[in-house]
């Protein structure tokens, strides 16, 4: 049969029909289905063995327990730990996204770098570790050779008492410089206030979990205050109690923050008037005889003077005028606070990391003293520092001895700032007001002053003047972009480091991070780098650092915990660590070796809450009592010479009131009033946006609302009434101008804002990092002029006079 036209057609039709009886078309369909599901650009995470590694979060001083889920060598998820006392299971959004901060190549310095572009550009060239260390060491060595060691300055953002901060201070001193400068923090305010009123500078904490009445003076408990993991859990505990009618939280804040919204009572006091309000409450408590008379008569001094002042000058009528809070509300707070079993008045605005006003804090602390709730359940807890071993003293040579004795550039501890330990803003001032920067080499550790300090413009000007800056930051932050040399630290997931008593914790806890993954990039633990640098400077400097590596330093210090006796290294979670105990617990380890091994795997050593009794001499003031009338301050005013002949000592300290009130907690009044700048700018912090040194993980930007950040614009919150005065509508661009600077933002109208106040979130406006973080919004620090808090000399963050206009 030949191939005729007819046959061909038949064959074709038959073929097509027959084909459909075979599985071929269906198989092909399926293959196409599978093929359409494999795109080469969709990442396929490799499978592997699942592991879980316990550690501690090191992103903030809150020190939450974390466990990291791993697939082979890759860390894939961070979760909260239930076997860690701080945070039963939960962690904060930043901690949750920590892996992005570990792996994102554009967020991190991937190795030691030398700057090649202009300062601020972020153009670096990778060099070897040997070269990097040699460069720093030579720089320090040359300062030592020329006896100019004071020109070496370290800026340290690590929490106080951590081993790393000791090492940094040690390196600075051993090289011969007194200029070890810490970033300003709330700890400074606490420390100064407590030293003045109680003579005690041990860590202070609020026993929130056991409290039944929390009077919060602007503390953003839900904005990331203290250790967010712990505080949020404490919040749940308080809520649980509240549902049974047992706990009240009163939030005093001018903005309807999360804390204000979620608390039982929101009291909107004008920004900057907290001291007046606290003293107004004190007035009612004293007037109505609601204070703890036994405590006041047995353990305090200067009460009569305080009483006279408070009754004379802080009548509710006056307070209503100052704060805008109603008389009934003041009375209700006084009653609530004084009649509660375990009340506590807490201080520290926003996240509780930026310093506050010293007199404000002391006014709040006075309330606690009136109620006598010091080292009592639910009150404030003053305890001894962790019993860590001290490191052997350094052995400075002649050069260093000379250098250490030169005056600090920041004038901290001088007659002008007698109680301050370090004042970085003064350092910035000094640099900007000299022709040539007195600072030759600046070492920056775990800090980002170019972004986080007020008046950022001035800070950057100062940084530009410094001849040589070395950054140890693992992150590509603004300050490291100003650096000439970067010696990147590991991230907290790659190194062993201690977290010495997480922020604000009432019981003693030592946390230890561990390398969860092998270093992802060519970085080195800053502790090791410090030792390496010291060894490379010269033998004399090296002799102060006789250790093999940083971990051995940690181990030496931890030995102190063992020597103190007791303590636990395992936490079961059955009984919360904040439950008050009468008897000491532990130990649950055999030897120091055993203890250290267990700490290294589980990351903790702790003691359950058992503070020293009130009568065990915790007040170490001249009177051995809690001082309402601060003798040490009186001494500093009356006995110290004035800076300028014939000057007013009080004025020099920044105190404006006269008479006895100057030596007691008092309200300084509003001196910022300026016709040209009729509004107040109050920065605010958010738990889901990092505003400190470590950046927010990109994940956190999912949680930011689009009336907080939209595209590259951040929003300033304004009351609709105020906005209508300026004809500003939701989403309009506005210019906010202060003495320091003018910035552009968009307006977000909210009834949660106090009329006349402009609220701007801290943490936006980065100019470094990568596309997730860079150029998003504006940094309110630019607006904040370098004010000085009376007496402490620290920056004033929380009220800035501004004006706004449509932009």
User: Which one of 89, 438, 515, 807 is in contact with another protein (CB under 8 A)?
Assistant: 89
- DSSP-derived secondary structure letter, 574: S
Give the β-pairing of 485-486 and 113-115: antiparallel
User: Which one of 120, 519, 698, 785 is in contact with another protein (CB under 8 A)?
Assistant: 698
3-state secondary structure of 68: strand
- DSSP-derived secondary structure letter, 617: T
Question: In the complex, what is the shortest distance from the CB of residue 49 to another protein, in angstroms, rounded to a whole number?
Answer: 11
Q: Which is nearer to another protein, 229 or 372 (CB)?
A: 229
- Applying CB under 8 A, the span of 115-123, 256-264, 527-535, 787-795 interacting with another protein comes to 256-264
356-383 burial code (b ≥16 CB/10 A, e <16) = bbbbbbbbbbbbbbbbbbbbbbbbbbbb
**By the rule CB under 8 A, 96 interacts with another protein:** yes
Q: How far apart are CA 550 and CA 472, in angstroms?
A: 15
As to burial, measured by CB atoms within 10 angstroms (0-12 exposed, 13-18 middle, 19+ buried), residue 13 is exposed
Overall size of the chain counted in residues: 807
Question: In the complex, what is the shortest distance from the CB of residue 510 to another protein, in angstroms, rounded to a whole number?
Answer: 22
Residues 6+ apart with CB under 8 A from 307: 286
Contact 374, 626 (CB under 8 A): yes
Q: Which positions from 753 through 782 interact with another protein, judged by CB under 8 A?
A: 753-755, 771-772, 776
User: Which one of 702, 729, 744, 806 is in contact with another protein (CB under 8 A)?
Assistant: 702
Question: In the complex, what is the shortest distance from the CB of residue 230 to another protein, in angstroms, rounded to a whole number?
Answer: 9
Q: Which positions from 208 through 237 interact with another protein, judged by CB under 8 A?
A: 222, 224, 228-229, 232-233, 235-236
Question: In the complex, what is the shortest distance from the CB of residue 280 to another protein, in angstroms, rounded to a whole number?
Answer: 17
User: Which one of 11, 706, 729, 806 is in contact with another protein (CB under 8 A)?
Assistant: 706
User: Which one of 59, 140, 152, 256 is in contact with another protein (CB under 8 A)?
Assistant: 256
Q: Which is nearer to another protein, 5 or 433 (CB)?
A: 5
**By the rule CB under 8 A, 1 interacts with another protein:** no
Q: Which is nearer to another protein, 57 or 388 (CB)?
A: 57
Per-residue mark of binding to another protein, 265-304 (x: CB under 8 A): -x-x------------------------------------
Question: In the complex, what is the shortest distance from the CB of residue 514 to another protein, in angstroms, rounded to a whole number?
Answer: 18
Question: In the complex, what is the shortest distance from the CB of residue 719 to another protein, in angstroms, rounded to a whole number?
Answer: 6
Question: To 10 degrees, what angle do helices 550-564 and 163-175 make?
Answer: 120
Residue whose entry in the numeric block shows the structure tokens 């063995």: 49
Q: How far apart are CA 13 and CA 425, in angstroms?
A: 90
**By the rule CB under 8 A, 566 interacts with another protein:** no
**By the rule CB under 8 A, 15 interacts with another protein:** no
Residues 6+ apart with CB under 8 A from 28: none
Q: Which two tokens stand for residue 30?
A: 């399926």
Backbone CA torsion sign across 16, 18, 24, 27: positive
Q: Which positions from 713 through 752 interact with another protein, judged by CB under 8 A?
A: 719, 721, 750-752
What are the Cα distances from residue 331, in Å, to 253, 269, 388? 17, 14, 45
**Binding residue count for another protein, defined by CB under 8 A:** 84
Question: In the complex, what is the shortest distance from the CB of residue 524 to another protein, in angstroms, rounded to a whole number?
Answer: 19
Q: Cis (ω within 30 of 0) for the bond into 464?
A: no
Question: In the complex, what is the shortest distance from the CB of residue 518 to another protein, in angstroms, rounded to a whole number?
Answer: 12
User: Which one of 53, 83, 100, 406 is in contact with another protein (CB under 8 A)?
Assistant: 100
Give the β-pairing of 626-627 and 300-301: parallel
User: Which one of 279, 386, 420, 687 is in contact with another protein (CB under 8 A)?
Assistant: 687
Question: In the complex, what is the shortest distance from the CB of residue 410 to another protein, in angstroms, rounded to a whole number?
Answer: 36
SS (H, E, C) 117-179: CCCCCCCEEECCHHHHHHHHHHHHHHHHHCCCHHHEEEEECCCCCCHHHHHHHHHHHHHCCCC
User: Which one of 508, 688, 738, 748 is in contact with another protein (CB under 8 A)?
Assistant: 688
Question: In the complex, what is the shortest distance from the CB of residue 419 to another protein, in angstroms, rounded to a whole number?
Answer: 35
Q: Which is nearer to another protein, 640 or 701 (CB)?
A: 701
Question: In the complex, what is the shortest distance from the CB of residue 773 to another protein, in angstroms, rounded to a whole number?
Answer: 10
**By the rule CB under 8 A, 534 interacts with another protein:** no
Question: In the complex, what is the shortest distance from the CB of residue 770 to another protein, in angstroms, rounded to a whole number?
Answer: 8
Q: Which is nearer to another protein, 705 or 733 (CB)?
A: 705
User: Which one of 61, 80, 85, 454 is in contact with another protein (CB under 8 A)?
Assistant: 80
Find the Cα–Cα–Cα–Cα dihedral 257, 263, 268, 273, rounded to 10°.
Answer: -90
Question: To 10 degrees, what angle do helices 129-145 and 526-537 make?
Answer: 50
Q: Which positions from 392 through 451 interact with another protein, judged by CB under 8 A?
A: none
Q: Which is nearer to another protein, 93 or 763 (CB)?
A: 93
Q: Which positions from 29 through 48 interact with another protein, judged by CB under 8 A?
A: 29, 33, 36-37, 39, 41-48
Question: In the complex, what is the shortest distance from the CB of residue 629 to another protein, in angstroms, rounded to a whole number?
Answer: 35
Give the β-pairing of 468-471 and 485-486: parallel
User: Which one of 51, 52, 106, 385 is in contact with another protein (CB under 8 A)?
Assistant: 106
114-137 burial code (b ≥16 CB/10 A, e <16) = ebeeebbebebeebebeebbbbbb
User: Which one of 7, 8, 52, 105 is in contact with another protein (CB under 8 A)?
Assistant: 105
Q: How many CB atoms lie within 10 A of CB 22?
A: 9
What are the Cα distances from residue 677, in Å, to 287, 742, 743, 796, 803? 38, 12, 14, 17, 5
Q: Which positions from 495 through 524 interact with another protein, judged by CB under 8 A?
A: 520
């Amino acid at each position: 049969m030949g191939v005729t036209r007819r046959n061909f057609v038949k064959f074709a039709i038959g073929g097509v029909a027959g084909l459909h009886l075979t599985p071929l078309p269906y198989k092909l369909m399926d293959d196409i289905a599978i093929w359409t599901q494999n795109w080469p650009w969709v990442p396929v995470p490799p499978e592997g063995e699942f592991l879980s590694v316990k550690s501690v979060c090191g992103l903030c001083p809150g020190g939450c327990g974390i466990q990291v889920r791993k697939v082979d060598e890759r860390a894939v998820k961070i979760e909260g730990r239930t076997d860690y006392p701080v945070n039963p299971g939960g962690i904060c959004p930043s901690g949750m996204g920590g892996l992005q901060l570990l792996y994102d190549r554009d967020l991190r310095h991937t190795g030691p770098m030398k700057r090649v572009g202009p300062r601020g550009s972020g153009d670096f060239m990778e060099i070897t570790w040997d070269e990097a260390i040699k460069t720093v060491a030579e720089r320090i060595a040359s300062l030592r050779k020329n006896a100019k060691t004071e020109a070496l300055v370290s800026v340290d953002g690590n929490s106080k008492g951590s081993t790393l901060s000791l090492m940094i201070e040690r390196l600075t001193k051993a090289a011969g410089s007194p200029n070890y400068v810490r970033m300003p923090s709330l700890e400074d305010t606490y420390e100064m206030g407590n030293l003045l009123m109680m003579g005690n500078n041990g860590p202070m904490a609020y026993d929130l979990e056991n409290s039944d009445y929390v009077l919060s003076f602007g503390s953003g408990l839900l904005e990331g205050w203290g250790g967010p993991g712990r505080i949020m859990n404490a919040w749940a505990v308080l809520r649980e109690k509240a549902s049974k009618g047992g706990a009240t939280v009163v939030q005093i804040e001018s903005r309807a923050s999360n804390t204000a919204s979620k608390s039982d009572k929101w009291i909107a006091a004008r920004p900057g008037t907290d001291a007046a309000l606290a003293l107004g409450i004190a007035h009612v408590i004293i007037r109505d005889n609601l204070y703890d008379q036994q405590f006041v008569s047995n353990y305090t001094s200067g009460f009569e003077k305080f009483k006279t002042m408070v009754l004379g000058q802080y009548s509710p009528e006056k307070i209503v005028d100052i704060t805008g809070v109603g008389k009934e509300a003041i009375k209700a707070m006084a009653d609530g606070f004084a009649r509660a079993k375990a009340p506590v008045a807490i201080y520290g605005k926003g996240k509780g990391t930026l310093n506050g006003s010293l007199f404000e804090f002391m006014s709040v602390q006075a309330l606690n003293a009136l109620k006598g709730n010091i080292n009592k359940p639910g009150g404030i807890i003053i305890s001894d520092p962790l019993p860590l071993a001290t490191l052997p003293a350094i052995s400075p040579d002649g050069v260093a001895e000379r250098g250490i004795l030169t005056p600090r550039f920041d004038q901290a501890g001088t007659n002008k700032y007698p109680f301050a330990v370090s004042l970085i803003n003064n350092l910035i001032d000094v640099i900007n007001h000299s022709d040539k920067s007195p600072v030759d080499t600046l070492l920056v550790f775990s800090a980002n002053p170019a972004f986080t300090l007020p008046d950022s413009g001035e800070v950057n000007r100062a940084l530009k003047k410094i001849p040589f800056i070395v950054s140890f930051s693992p992150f590509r932050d603004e300050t490291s972009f100003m650096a000439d040399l970067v010696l990147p630290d590991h991230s907290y997931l790659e190194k062993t480091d201690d977290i010495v008593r997480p922020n604000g914790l009432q019981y003693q806890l030592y946390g230890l991070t561990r390398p969860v993954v092998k270093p992802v990039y060519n970085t080195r633990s800053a502790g090791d780098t410090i030792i390496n640098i010291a060894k490379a400077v010269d033998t004399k400097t090296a002799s102060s650092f006789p250790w093999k590596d940083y971990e051995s330093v940690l181990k030496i210090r931890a030995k102190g915990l063992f020597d103190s006796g007791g303590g636990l290294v395992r936490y079961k979670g059955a009984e919360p660590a904040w439950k008050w105990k009468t008897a000491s617990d532990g130990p649950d380890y055999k030897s120091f070796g055993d203890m250290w091994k267990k700490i290294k795997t589980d990351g903790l050593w702790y003691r359950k809450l058992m503070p020293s009794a009130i009568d065990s001499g915790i007040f170490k003031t001249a009177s051995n009592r809690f001082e309402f009338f601060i003798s040490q301050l009186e001494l500093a005013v009356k006995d110290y010479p004035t800076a300028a002949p014939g000057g007013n000592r009080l004025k020099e300290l920044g105190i404006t009131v006269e008479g006895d009130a100057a030596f007691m907690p008092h309200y300084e009044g509003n001196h910022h009033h300026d016709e040209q700048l009729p509004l107040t700018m109050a920065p605010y912090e958010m738990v889901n946006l990092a505003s400190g040194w470590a950046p927010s993980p990109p994940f956190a930007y999912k949680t930011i609302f689009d009336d907080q950040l939209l595209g590259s614009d951040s929003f300033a919150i304004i009351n609709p009434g105020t906005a209508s005065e300026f004809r500003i509508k939701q989403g309009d661009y506005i210019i906010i101008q202060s003495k320091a600077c003018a910035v552009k933002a968009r307006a977000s109208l909210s009834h949660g804002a106090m009329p006349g106040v402009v609220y701007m979130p801290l943490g936006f406006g980065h100019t470094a990092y990568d596309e997730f973080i860079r150029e998003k919004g504006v940094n309110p620090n630019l607006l904040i002029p370098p004010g000085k808090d009376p007496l402490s000399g620290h920056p004033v963050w929380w009220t800035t006079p501004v004006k706004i206009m449509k932009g």
